[in-house]
Structures are given as structure tokens and as C-alpha cells.
Structure 1
């Protein structure tokens, strides 16, 4: 097998959310020669671009890495499907399209944990706004009041990352929002002000009814630049390293399997690893950077003993299903061929209706109990139900009220299974491992019941189908959470950034690998703690900030 060598200024590994933005920013200077590597194919698969197409992208090897977790004790021994995007755009090509920043306190806490003020909310807000293009600012003013001064202080317009209101509503979801208000949750029209407490419809990353992924947003405008090289179907086997005359370790580039051929590429300035919270630690471990005992077990030379792959955090959502009466739900609307044909025709003609849906339309953020100092729960409410993701809709009208603990205290890990880059890593989220997480799970299910009991929902005669009203004790509800809960696809934290004296941190506050020059990690794996909401847009913010740091480094 031949080996081809080539030199670049920057190598970006991973053409997902962070990688597409980085490729755009780094190649904006014509003097920088940039290589972007993506293990998947181009994002030409039609279902990527139709919002409801996530149903056909998740669990599809054309667009998904097809990972599964190890058997999880907190889930009563179950394993979960663990989707990760494998195409240009990465997870932004298969995710729920929800635009969510999290809470200001998340970033202020990152600043404290890292000792770097650049991570506080005010500074991160600038990076969110730098690439945002919010529909509400089209035309410059609020259609009702003409004044958008407060909104424009918090949101951007004219950037690459399009944010729009959803293109449909449901009576039963409007009633759920009213019931939540009756339960003490105020309504909100902006989850992204730094305090996301409230109930309302999610903003989504769509443009005129089409999914807006990071490949369209950031890569498409840069593809014609002669200094940007894009390789798809190019999976990194390992990073390569060299030592200087003093023995200091420097990342020199990567060894890449490109359509069956091994290719060595070198980076004069930096190699940036943006393969995500699962693949970035896998690549580092395969390259000799990780827990020494793990690497030695698989016959890999230990270049640096570091806690790579530890600190895995994820949002576990508990799916409560309620049968309803006297209202439209997707179960009944799409329950026959005529209904499906009408749904297809509406999307074809108007780019609206169920085919324009994100997986979750209505959201809510609130406290699991009054002792909490902030909203620690997120609801995703859907006008549909099914036994498990990927299965057929139920044949009765129903809604699903999914709720997740935003700040789990359980920690898992990602570890290589072998020294073969083709072997999927072992993913162990370790859900519901702490008493705090089990209590929040039980409290959240009780809160769902409280909301569903409010007057606004009574016209629909809601009947609890899952988990079932017979389960009442904390112990029962926590066990039931393990039986019915699923990942909401937000893994983070496996290549943690932090202070120099933090032995659990792999990276310094500027995302450089400690003890190794020429290597930075820029993706969701760097988060020291998970954000209080969906994680795609925070990953873009991280990449925006990192791009400035990388360009400023000489």
C-alpha cells in the first residue's frame, strides 16, 4: 500500500459542526493552506436536507457511525443506539435542529473551572452572535412593535448560521404550554437570552423549511477557495508526532485511510482535532495519548499518559407517553396512506407541515423541585408517540413528554476496544449512577404528571401510557426511568479543558493539548461540564472562539 505525503498549514480532522466552521475561518486568509478531513461522504443524501429526514439518517450507515453503548447498569442492563453524524456537517446533518445556547451560568462556570475569562457568558455571547442569522431580525424590526433593540443585543443577523421559527403549531402542544403555565412555568419567546427558564416553541436551524447544516452554512461558501482542500471518505488512523532536540513532543500531522489507501499528511502550524466527543478521544488513544494502562493493554506506545476519554456526560431523556382524545396528533395524521400523501403534498407546495418538523417542537425549562437555584430540567414535547426510536407510530392518538436532567452528576467514559481504527470504541455513559440523578429522574416524572393534570389538558382526557400510573415511589420511578429513558444525543466532556493544575483536564484553557505542541481539540469533547440545553450551537461557539485563537498564534 503506497504512502503519499503532503504538507498543509492546518489540518482539521472532522467535517462536522466545529470542523466546517474552522475550515471556513482558517481558509479565509488565502495564505493559509488548509486540509479538511471527513470520514463520511458528502452531504448529498436527500433525507439530510428534509427536516423529518432525521428518521432515515439515524441508524443509517450512509450518515451515522452506528455506535451503541455498552450495557448500562443505570439503564437496568440495556444498551442504547448512540447516533453520531458521519457525513459533511456531522451531527448537524442528522440532529434535531434545535438552536439552544444553554444558560449564562454554564459559561461563567467554565471560566471559573478554566481560569480563562474568555469563557464567561459575555465573551461567549459575542462568539454565538458572530455567525448567527436570526429570522426575527430580518427587515430590522419586530413586525408588531418595530423595536428589536433588546433582541438585537442578544442575537446576530447576517451570519452563516440560520435560525428560524418553526413552520407549524399543534393545538395539543399549545394546550400543554398553557398547562405548564398553570403549573408555574412562565411562557417565553426566547430560550437563548442566558436564562432559558420558560415554555415555548423551539427555534430551529432551518432555512425556508429545509435543514440548515454546517456544511451548507460554512463549507459551501468556502469550497471554491484554492487554499482549502477537502477529503471525504478519509478516516484518520492515528495522529503522527515528532520530538525536537530537547525531546519535546509535537504533533506533525496524521496518518489517514483515504478510500483504502494510507496517506500521511503534515501540518506546518497546527493539527486541529474536531471529530466529536466520541471519535476525538478514540483518535487520541489510538495515537498514544490517553490512560497508560488502556494503551498498554492494546499494545500502543504511551506518548502521554492523560485522562482522555474520561468525564463523559450526556443528557438522558425520560419519555412519558400520554394517550389523548379529540385532537390531531401525528399518530393519526400519518396513520394511513391518504394522510401521508397530504403531508407530502403540503411540504412539496409550502415547505411546511409535519415534514418540516424538528423531532421536538415545544420546549420547557424549569426546576425539578423548589430547592433548585436554576432550571435543571428540559422538556421536549412531541405530538406523536412510539415504542422506541425507529419504530412505527402508535395506532392511537398520543403525545410524548420527554424530560431530561440538564446537569447530571453521573460520569462515564469512552475507551478504544482495540488498536484497530476501524473498531468502534466502547461507550459507557454510566447513566443514573448517582443518587442525585436518580432523585431528579423521579421528581421529573412527577412533574410531568402534575402538568398533565392541569385544566388546560383536561379536554383531551390524557391517560398515562408510559411509564404507567401504578408507579409512584422514588425507587419505582428511578427504576422505570432506567427502563424507558434514552439518550438525547448530547455527549460531551471526554477531552476536557481546564487549568494547568487540574489533573483531570487534558487541554489548557485555549484548547491546546497539555504537554504537546501543534495539536488542539475543538469540539464538544472539550466542555468541562455539559451545557444546560442542546449542545450543537455551543459547539459552534467553541469553534468560533478557537478559530480566532488559532489564527492569532504564530
Structure 2
């Protein structure tokens, strides 16, 4: 199944791929994507999804609201819906982007969405150590800049995480509020499980059935082969990794796809709020400062799409849900952050807090395995489904451990696949040399593209202000492998994963690791340590920069400043075991619960 953006692009990338291998298939892919993106930009001007959402609200200087929410992304959409559901609340949602583009609703299209106007596309600072085989030697930090935020641009994998993750949060905070047994009801509140097999299984009790976001598995005929290959290595095949005891095993992951549409937070939470007259949604409006008097948040300063600067006031709370990169930026611009850094920038310090520190991401990379020969006709892709078959593995190196050390997401690409090149060049943004080697391996052969990542890396980066000008993106130091433990663990987990090449099933299909040419020698420990560093990339799971216990308390209130709350991935004290969108949505639900309780 090829991922086709249009019949023209499919012809340009699939049927002629073999002819271009000796040239630069990656350049061809990126050029074709640029052409399609230009067309999509024109279509975006029609605002084809605007009919689903509340209209763009015309702001007036000095207006009062009960709640002002900064950021209409994953968690912000949840909060806007939940708070405005009480008709006594007047709620303002401020979003720097606009309506989601039409293509965001089609599960097939997500590989086209990076580096578009609705992607912040912040870049990491080149550390001259990691990411050196990515384009420009930097990490392109894709983030959604639109209603629904990154829930409209991510890969739609829905996973709660392991109970150990949340129990660890509870231990860090010395507050049982965040233990798994206490966050599970909020996961169930957001979920609408539609998968018939899981609804009839023991896993049904761990999922919601009438929540806002529809979730289900997408199972292909080939999945059984790959699950059984990992079973040969001792991994359990499970219908779902959601569990009170252990999330280990190989499975078909749940996807946030329902009714043939991506189940983004905007579609699932903001669209139902369209008719609420007490919800005001201000688009293309950037919050530049939190207004604080006597250490009480009283409102926000914003710049509108017309360039007008306004001050808006909150009677009850200001809630920041701008994400793990832009939440710390706004806090620091407002005088909340590390004293030395703020003073260096000439910003008056209101609260000396470690804002911007503790930046986390799932340390990840891609491994390509060339599988069997194939010349069969590939059917046209279905735009309403995830583009290729996918299985997931959650594994621990220690057999007595109940929570995973690493996650593997395995995507199976048919021969001569346009989709493989799009994943490599436009999603992961590997160099032309790397992607060309993957393309060459894909000529006449299927390729298993393994997205391999650590669940709980110890390395930490940071976010700093590049300028006091809010329009200038902050500096992001990813910190990848700054703790050598992570490099060693990545090496060990890759060696553990690579055992699959020796299974009878993989041998029967003449499976071979695709050589990137970056690391010499046999596939021994030194090879995999070299590979870990050479192929280091991002999983787009940024978190931790306003962490609970450090910047906010366990009710998500900013320490030292009243009536100011944070609700997004930045509050995570540690990462969770898997893709983080479900956890961020849960945090939005939890924040709404805290506010309603107050």
C-alpha cells in the first residue's frame, strides 16, 4: 500500500522510483512534496474545516473573561470545552494558529504536514554530536500551530502508558492523585473504544466507551507474521498493552481514527462546542505576556493577526496550554523562570523557578530491514486509514521487569513505496544519503521500517529565550545522550530488537538489515553504539519544561503565582511509556477537574 498524495505524486514517486535510485530519490521526494504542499496551501485559504468550529472572535481591549486559555492544542481544546460547558463561565481560548487544514482530517496525509504554516517547525540547537545525519544536522521539532495542535499533526497512536509511569509521578510528588488508579478514570472519560474485539475482551474495562475520542485497532493480514516473529523471541502477543500490571508485549496499537477521520482534540472537543455562546475563540492571536499583579495572574497581553496589542483580563484563572516549548517561552517572557537567565535578558523576576529545564523527548531512531522480494501490484491507498500496516512492541531487557525499556513501532512498506521515502525524508528528515539507501533497499523488496525509542531516557535538555521578542522562536537544546546511560541503553535495546533477524520467520524471508554506511564492522555492540548515535532523531514527544513538583504543584498551579495554571506536556515530571498525546489529553481532562473542584 503506497501513501499517495495524489495520482500525480504517486506516479512521480513510485513508478519511477527505481529509475531515480542512482540519482537522488530523496531530492525527488522532497520536490514532489513541496509541490503538493504548495497546492495544499492554496486549498487552506478556503478554510474547509471552519464550519466545524466556533467562529473567530473579534477581541476588544480590556475585556474581562472568567478563564483565559492560552493555546488551543491538545489539552487546551479539552479545557475550552469542559469549562465552557458550564454556561456560567465566560471562556476565552487564544490560539496562535487558525483552523486545522482539510488534510489534517485524513489519516493518510500526516507525512505531508511538517514545515507547513500550521507547523511551528522550531529547530533544535546543533550540538555537533547528535542528529548529525538529519537534514541540516538539527532536529526539526514539528508541532501543530492550529486548533487541536499536535493532535492534528501527529501519528495517531493512542497509548495510555504503563501504570508504573503514573505511580512514579505519585511517588515524585508524594501525592497519590497522579497514581494510575486515579488517572485511569480520566483516560476512560476521554476514550470512546469502538474496536469490536477489545470491547468483547478483558481490556474493555480499562477503556472508556462513551468518551470524546474514538479509538480502534487497524489490523492487516501481514501483522500476524511479525507478531509471531517476536513471539519466537519470548515476547507475548497481546490484544492490547493497556493493563494494571504490565504493558509489555507485541500488539496492534490503538489509533485515534474514527468515522474515517483523525480524532484530533479540535474535532472531538472544540467542534461539539461550536454552538456555545460563552466560548470565545480568538485565532491567529499570540499571547506575548501573562499580566501579573502582586503575584496574581490577572490576564494576558496578546497580539492579534492585524498586529494590534491588547490586554485581556481573567476573573478566575489564566491557563497556559501552549506546549513544552512555547509554554516556557511565555512564562519566561512574563518573569517566571530561572533568575539568572531572566536577568540576563533584562526581564524582571516575579518567580524564580526552573522553567525550561527538564526538557524531555523519547530518544528515537529508525532501523530499516529489507524483507522478501515482491513485484505484485500495490492497491491504491485509502485516505481514511493509516497508510501502512503497523505493529508495536513494548519490551524490557530484564525479564522480571513489568514496564518497558523501549518501544518499537513497525511499519511495513510494500516494494517501491512512496510512503517509505516520505517517512524517511519528510517525517524523520534523515539525510539524502540515508534515505537513498532505504529507497534502494525498497526496489522490488518490502521494507520493515522500525521506529525504535527509549521509554524513560535520563538525559535532559532545556528551553531558553533567544530574545525578548515573542515572535522569535526559543532556543531548544534537546540534551540527547547527555547522560551516557541513555546511549548504552539504546545500544542494548537495539541489540535486543535485532535478534528478530535471526528468527526462523525473518530468515525464511531473507531479511537483511539495511546498511546506512554510517557504522563499520559487524553487527556487534560497537556497531549498534555507533548506530545509536549516528541515527539519533526525535519522536516529537516534548515534555517536562514546567514539571510538576518543580514549577507547578500537583494541582498544576504555578508555584509562587496565584490564579495561574499550566496544562500540557510541559507539566510531566517524567515521560510516559509510549506516544504522549493520550496522556496530554488526560492532563487536560484532569486540569478541568481540578478547576471545577476549586
CA distance in 2, matches of 1:270, 1:358: 42
Is the Cα contact below 8 Å between 1:317 and 1:405 reproduced in 2? yes
CA distance in 1, matches of 2:526, 2:546: 34
Q: Which residue is equivalent to 2:352? A: 305
Is the Cα contact below 8 Å between 1:204 and 1:358 reproduced in 2? no
Helix, strand or coil at the partner of 2:288: strand
Gap change, CA 1:488 and 1:530, over 3 Å in 2? same
Q: Which residue is equivalent to 1:21? A: 78
CA distance in 2, matches of 1:370, 1:123: 28
Report deviation, 1:435.
2.4
Is the Cα contact below 8 Å between 1:366 and 1:375 reproduced in 2? yes
Q: Which residue is equivalent to 2:179? A: 120
Is the Cα contact below 8 Å between 1:38 and 1:88 reproduced in 2? yes
Paired positions, count: 512
Is the Cα contact below 8 Å between 1:467 and 1:484 reproduced in 2? no
Report deviation, 1:208.
2.8
Report deviation, 1:506.
0.7
Report deviation, 1:114.
1.0
Gap change, CA 1:11 and 1:431, over 3 Å in 2? same
Q: Which residue is equivalent to 2:255? A: 204
Residues 1:49 and 2:105 are matched in the alignment:
yes
Is the Cα contact below 8 Å between 2:114 and 2:426 reproduced in 1? no
Residues 1:213 and 2:260 are matched in the alignment:
no
Residues 1:241 and 2:292 are matched in the alignment:
yes
CA distance in 2, matches of 1:476, 1:12: 48
Is the Cα contact below 8 Å between 1:127 and 1:541 reproduced in 2? yes
TM-score normalised by the chain length of structure 1: 0.88
Report deviation, 1:84.
0.6
Residues 1:162 and 2:221 are matched in the alignment:
no
Report deviation, 1:72.
2.8
* Post-superposition CA distance 1:161-187 (Å, at most 9, x none): 111122x5152x432221111011110
Report deviation, 1:507.
0.7
Is the Cα contact below 8 Å between 2:95 and 2:146 reproduced in 1? yes
CA distance in 2, matches of 1:508, 1:537: 21
CA distance in 2, matches of 1:278, 1:410: 17
Helix, strand or coil at the partner of 1:439: helix
Q: Which residue is equivalent to 2:302? A: 256
Residues 1:464 and 2:513 are matched in the alignment:
yes
CA distance in 1, matches of 2:309, 2:361: 34
Gap change, CA 1:373 and 1:30, over 3 Å in 2? closer
Is the Cα contact below 8 Å between 1:17 and 1:89 reproduced in 2? yes
CA distance in 1, matches of 2:466, 2:323: 18
Report deviation, 1:154.
0.9
Which sits farther off after the overlay, 395-404 or 469-478? 469-478
CA distance in 1, matches of 2:159, 2:452: 16
Report deviation, 1:369.
4.8
Q: Which residue is equivalent to 1:388? A: 425
Match of 2:241 among 191, 199, 204: 191
Which sits farther off after the overlay, 370-379 or 48-57? 370-379
Gap change, CA 1:17 and 1:141, over 3 Å in 2? closer
CA distance in 2, matches of 1:64, 1:308: 23
Residues 1:442 and 2:491 are matched in the alignment:
yes
Is the Cα contact below 8 Å between 1:321 and 1:465 reproduced in 2? yes
Report deviation, 1:475.
4.2
The CA RMSD over aligned residues, in Å, is: 2.2
CA distance in 2, matches of 1:207, 1:478: 40
Is the Cα contact below 8 Å between 1:497 and 1:528 reproduced in 2? yes
Gap change, CA 1:96 and 1:405, over 3 Å in 2? same
Gap change, CA 1:427 and 1:70, over 3 Å in 2? same
CA distance in 2, matches of 1:93, 1:291: 32
TM-score normalised by the chain length of structure 2: 0.82
Report deviation, 1:374.
3.0
* Post-superposition CA distance 1:505-526 (Å, at most 9, x none): 0111111000100100001100
Is the Cα contact below 8 Å between 2:388 and 2:412 reproduced in 1? no
CA distance in 1, matches of 2:554, 2:304: 33
Is the Cα contact below 8 Å between 1:76 and 1:479 reproduced in 2? no
Match of 2:224 among 143, 151, 174: 174
Residues 1:37 and 2:74 are matched in the alignment:
no
* Post-superposition CA distance 1:296-330 (Å, at most 9, x none): 222211111110000011102121111122358xx
Is the Cα contact below 8 Å between 1:234 and 1:257 reproduced in 2? yes
Q: Which residue is equivalent to 2:327? A: 280
1:513-532 equivalences under 5 Å are: 513-532=558-577
Q: Which residue is equivalent to 1:246? A: none
Gap change, CA 1:152 and 1:445, over 3 Å in 2? closer
Helix, strand or coil at the partner of 2:195: helix
Report deviation, 1:434.
1.8
Q: Which residue is equivalent to 1:368? A: 397
Report deviation, 1:152.
3.2
Which sits farther off after the overlay, 525-534 or 388-397? 388-397
Gap change, CA 1:219 and 1:473, over 3 Å in 2? same
Helix, strand or coil at the partner of 1:488: coil
Report deviation, 1:102.
0.5
Q: Which residue is equivalent to 1:336? A: none
Residues 1:409 and 2:458 are matched in the alignment:
yes
Is the Cα contact below 8 Å between 2:461 and 2:479 reproduced in 1? yes
CA distance in 2, matches of 1:360, 1:539: 26
CA distance in 2, matches of 1:135, 1:309: 38
Is the Cα contact below 8 Å between 1:137 and 1:152 reproduced in 2? no
Helix, strand or coil at the partner of 1:427: strand
CA distance in 1, matches of 2:368, 2:138: 21
* Post-superposition CA distance 1:198-241 (Å, at most 9, x none): 00111100113321111110111112111100011011111111
Gap change, CA 1:76 and 1:488, over 3 Å in 2? closer
Which sits farther off after the overlay, 408-417 or 289-298? 289-298
Report deviation, 1:364.
0.3
Report deviation, 1:57.
1.1
Q: Which residue is equivalent to 2:155? A: 96
